[in-house]
């Protein structure tokens, strides 16, 4: 099969594959263009922007994950193209398409000149199961690099079996496996999948002797993979402190059923075509689940009946991969209950294993689609076209259901409103507080503050600085003037119309009642000349520029230890600053 590598894209089947790639590029490119950042994207970008590129940063524990290459990507984006969605959308699309191309190269080697490879490519490229992870940057980094490395490892193994040159292929497979592990822990599934493919391809043996043949034929590869994964797991256990997900047996069964029966199978069938979406959970209608399971049962029966000599091993490999994938989810997320299994992000890596195993099952089987015996070439072409068209229709309905909920258009509108207001008046200062949960969940604490998530913006917003133009962020992202939700006023000054006369000597401005907590302070004043006024309380102090004429300044009083009965003020000017009113309070929520 030395010449086979040059024929993957030739002929009618090659043109059909190019058509599938083109449709994937157009549809997913269009959907990506309309999507935006969401949740983890914001605070992970903030963390990267605030960090130096050090080893500690690259291997830091992130919610139980240790992903150096993801951290590196975040750092490069945060420092080079922060919040430039078109740049990231192109990157996501290119990796997605690379995975589709690798899948076609594998299918072409396993099923040369078979129209069934076109059908399998359509399933992998168009399944809605990978859509949610594609439209969300953080989730796409969990999915597509792993899937691409997994497919690359399988492709290299198949080439090795067909062309020889073992040393080169062993090193290449170990390299892509290492890259996958550095991207995401889910890549621990690459070695089992590659081993399963090797067993299914061990045609010189039968039965259980296939396992022994695969072990002997690729001994150096398995030794390297065991060392690689073992070293990774040891390092991972030392770098992260997050424990397993736990869960009762009932919870484990509930998650497993949701993960496989209600998420993976309907997604592979092109669904869900109807159902409910709650946050990240996709609940298909009951009839969708039933129809999907029946379709899966029919496909499995046809593969067992019309497949090649390794069909049972191929299905066993798929079963093992799915079981391992389920075990990873149960070990880390079972305590969340059945709802976690309904999140397509966790089952989105199953399609690539499914199409590879289906191709292994069909390899060496009867001609045609491999499932149904078709006597003529015309019948095979028409049959493949009908199946691809039917799957495109099903996937279209599944995609249409998911897109409105996962394209993150509300996040885009929020950020664009924030940036537009800043661009219109760059002198505005933003009162720093937690972003709404729709943008970033408060579970991450201070990492969800506006100063953290919006600090990397090219507009370089200022937060909590003294300013005559302090603004709060409204629920729609627009900046609005501060209005108080109740105030504590200062005791009137003794200097008549001047109120509190602020000079180089400290003047005490006492509040009617002591105040506590993080509050906003409004200082109203007038002066005949510019000067810098310092406001202090305890260990805290801030300065603002007092301008000529009547004006006001807004300051953020931090949460100081104990209560604050008063503040001290002094000026560096030669002309007194008359402070006519001081008020402290919480900003009213717009």
What residues contact 575, with CB distance under 8 A and at least 6 apart? 527, 528, 529, 531
Banded pLDDT at 2 (limits 50, 70, 90) = very low
Position 41 pLDDT exceeds 50? yes
State how far the Cα of 61 lies from the Cα of 396, in Å rounded to an integer.
38
Position 265 pLDDT exceeds 90? yes
Three-class secondary structure of residue 525 per DSSP: strand
In sequence order, the β-bridge partners of residue 551 are 525
Query: Minimal CA–CA distance to 183: which of 67, 52, 301?
Result: 67
Cα angle for residues 436, 440, 445 (degrees, 5° grid): 95
Position 575 pLDDT exceeds 90? no
Alpha-carbon Rg for the chain, nearest whole angstrom, is 31
The share of the chain scoring above pLDDT 90, in percent, equals: 58
Residue 483 near residue 489 (C-beta atoms within 8 A): no
CA distances 143 to 115, 146, 263, 347, Å, are: 28, 6, 16, 10
pLDDT for position 367 = 67
Q: 485-587, superfamily in CATH?
A: Galactose-binding domain-like (2.60.120.260)
Residue 535 near residue 568 (C-beta atoms within 8 A): yes
Reply yes or no: is the peptide bond before residue 272 cis, omega within 30 of 0.
Answer: yes
What residues contact 582, with CB distance under 8 A and at least 6 apart? 489, 490, 500, 509, 511, 521, 522, 523, 524, 567
Three-class secondary structure of residue 170 per DSSP: helix
pLDDT for position 5 = 46
Specify the pTM: 0.90
Q: Which of 42-51, 141-150, 163-172 is predicted least confidently?
A: 163-172
State how far the Cα of 369 lies from the Cα of 372, in Å rounded to an integer.
6
Q: What is the dihedral of CA 97, 98, 100, 106, to 10 degrees?
A: 170
Banded pLDDT at 375 (limits 50, 70, 90) = low
Strands (E), 101-152: none
In sequence order, the β-bridge partners of residue 523 are 553, 582
The kind and range of the H/E element at 567 are strand 564-571
In sequence order, the β-bridge partners of residue 567 are 509
Three-class secondary structure of residue 277 per DSSP: strand
State how far the Cα of 105 lies from the Cα of 10, in Å rounded to an integer.
12
What residues contact 9, with CB distance under 8 A and at least 6 apart? 17, 18
State how far the Cα of 108 lies from the Cα of 9, in Å rounded to an integer.
9
Banded pLDDT at 495 (limits 50, 70, 90) = confident
In sequence order, the β-bridge partners of residue 525 are 551, 579
Per-residue model confidence as pLDDT tens digits over 499-527? 899 998 889 999 989 999 899 999 999 99
Q: What is the DSSP string of 51-92?
A: S-S-HHHHT--BTTB--HHHHHHHHHHHHHSTT-HHHHHHHH
Going 201 to 229 to 101 to 320, the CA torsion angle's sign is: positive
pLDDT for position 374 = 53
Per-residue buried b or exposed e for 312-324, using 16+ beta carbons within 10 Å of the residue's own CB: ebbbebbebbbee
Average pLDDT over the chain, rounded to an integer: 89
Query: Minimal CA–CA distance to 345: which of 125, 129, 112?
Result: 129
State how far the Cα of 469 lies from the Cα of 459, in Å rounded to an integer.
16
Per-residue model confidence as pLDDT tens digits over 345-363? 899 999 999 999 999 999 9
Cα angle for residues 19, 20, 22 (degrees, 5° grid): 65
Three-class secondary structure of residue 200 per DSSP: helix
Q: Where do the domains of the chain lie?
A: 7-37+83-239+248-306+323-405, 485-587
State how far the Cα of 93 lies from the Cα of 97, in Å rounded to an integer.
6
Residue 124 near residue 103 (C-beta atoms within 8 A): yes
């Amino acid at each position: 099969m030395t010449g086979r590598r040059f024929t993957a894209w030739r002929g009618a089947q090659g043109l059909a594959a190019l058509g599938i790639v083109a449709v994937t590029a157009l549809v997913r490119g269009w959907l990506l263009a309309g999507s935006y950042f969401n949740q983890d994207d914001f605070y992970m970008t903030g963390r990267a922007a605030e960090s130096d590129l050090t080893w500690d940063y690259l291997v830091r524990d992130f919610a139980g994950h240790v992903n150096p290459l993801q951290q590196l990507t975040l750092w490069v984006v945060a420092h080079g193209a922060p919040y430039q969605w078109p740049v990231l959308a192109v990157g996501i699309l290119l990796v997605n398409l690379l995975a589709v191309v690798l899948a076609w190269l594998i299918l072409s080697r396993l099923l040369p000149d078979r129209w069934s490879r076109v059908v399998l490519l359509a399933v992998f490229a168009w399944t809605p199961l990978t859509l949610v992870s594609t439209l969300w940057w953080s989730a796409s980094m969990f999915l597509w690099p792993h899937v691409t490395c997994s497919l690359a490892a399988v492709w290299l193994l198949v080439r090795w079996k067909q062309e020889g040159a073992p040393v080169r292929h062993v090193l290449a497979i170990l390299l892509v496996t290492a890259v996958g592990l550095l991207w995401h822990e889910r890549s621990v599934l690459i070695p089992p999948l590659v081993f399963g493919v090797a067993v299914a391809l061990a045609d010189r043996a039968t039965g259980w002797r296939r396992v022994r043949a695969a072990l002997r034929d690729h001994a150096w590869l398995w030794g390297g993979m065991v060392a690689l994964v073992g070293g990774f797991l040891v390092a991972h256990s030392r770098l992260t402190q997050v424990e397993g997900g736990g869960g009762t047996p009932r919870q484990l069964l509930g998650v497993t059923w949701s993960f496989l029966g209600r998420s993976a199978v309907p997604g592979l069938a092109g669904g869900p075509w109807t159902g409910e979406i709650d946050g990240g959970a996709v609940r298909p209608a009951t009839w969708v689940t039933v129809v999907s399971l029946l379709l899966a049962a029919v496909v499995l029966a046809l593969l067992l009946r019309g497949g090649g000599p390794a069909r049972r091993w191929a299905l066993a490999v798929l079963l093992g991969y799915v079981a391992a994938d389920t075990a990873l989810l149960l070990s880390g997320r079972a305590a969340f209950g059945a709802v976690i299994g309904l999140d397509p992000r966790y089952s989105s890596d199953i399609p690539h294993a499914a199409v590879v195993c289906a191709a292994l099952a069909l390899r060496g089987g009867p001609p045609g689609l491999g499932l149904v015996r078709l006597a003529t070439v015309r019948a095979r072409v028409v049959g493949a076209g009908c199946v691809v068209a039917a799957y495109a229709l099903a996937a279209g309905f599944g995609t249409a259901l998911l897109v409105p909920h996962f394209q993150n258009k509300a996040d885009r509108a929020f950020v664009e409103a924030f940036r537009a207001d800043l661009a219109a008046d760059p002198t505005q200062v933003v009162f720093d507080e937690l972003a709404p949960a729709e943008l970033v969940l408060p579970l991450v604490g201070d990492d969800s503050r506006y100063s953290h998530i919006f600090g990397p913006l090219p507009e370089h917003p200022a937060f909590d600085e003294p300013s005559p133009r302090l603004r709060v962020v409204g629920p729609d992202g627009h900046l609005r003037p501060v209005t108080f939700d109740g105030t504590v006023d200062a005791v009137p000054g003794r200097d008549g119309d001047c109120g509190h006369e602020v000079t180089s000597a400290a003047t005490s401005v006492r509040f009617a009642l002591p105040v506590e907590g993080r509050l906003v302070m409004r200082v109203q004043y007038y002066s005949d000349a510019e000067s810098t006024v310092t406001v202090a309380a305890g260990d805290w102090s801030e300065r603002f520029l007092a301008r000529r004429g009547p004006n006001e300044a807004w300051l953020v009083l931090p949460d100081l230890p104990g209560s604050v009965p008063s503040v001290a003020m002094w000026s560096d000017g030669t002309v007194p600053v008359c402070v006519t009113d001081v008020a402290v309070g919480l900003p009213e929520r717009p």
